[in-house]
Amino acid sequence: FFALLIGLGACKKDKYQPVGDYPEMSSQISTISSWTYSAPRYIGIIANSEMTQDVLDNGAVIVYASTGTNTWSQLPVTFYQSASYSTTLEVVNLLGNVNIYWTDSDLTQPNTPPTMSFKVVVFTPKMLLENPNINFKDILEVEKIISKY
């Protein structure tokens, strides 16, 4: 029983143990001014070389949209223009890119989205291990953790 318990503990640690050297986590502010329409939404692309397969598989990528002066909202986020009409911003993380999707609730082609700023925060697996209780919704907490590295 004791040997089985030790063996199970070792397996669990291996699952979350980082392999190799990881770069520090980073925060990148990017502006999207050129959106491409692909029904039923617009797509804005942020190139990011830190979007490696290892980060996609074992890390975390959090994206915030600037919603005013020094104000950031974590994606996905929905803005309500009226009681019956809204716009949703979503994020899809891909190898080498972060795609932002702008979709209106009526699923018809809206006006081209405005120029917007986004903060992309990349956490490597190592950083997640060292900070297991991160509140990703609190950008001040995220920035405090980033500043440690």
Q: 16 Cβ partners below 8 Å, 6+ apart?
A: 125, 129
110 vs 67: CA distance, rounded Å: 19
- Please, what is the Cα angle at 100 between 134 and 30, to 5 degrees? 75
Residue matched to tokens 């223009």: 81
In the predicted model, is pLDDT for residue 71 greater than 80? yes
User: What percent of the chain has a predicted confidence (pLDDT) above 90?
Assistant: 44
Question: What pLDDT is recorded for position 132?
Answer: 85
List pLDDT tens digits, range 114-145: 999 999 988 888 888 888 888 888 878 887 77
pTM: predicted TM-score of the whole model, two decimal places = 0.74
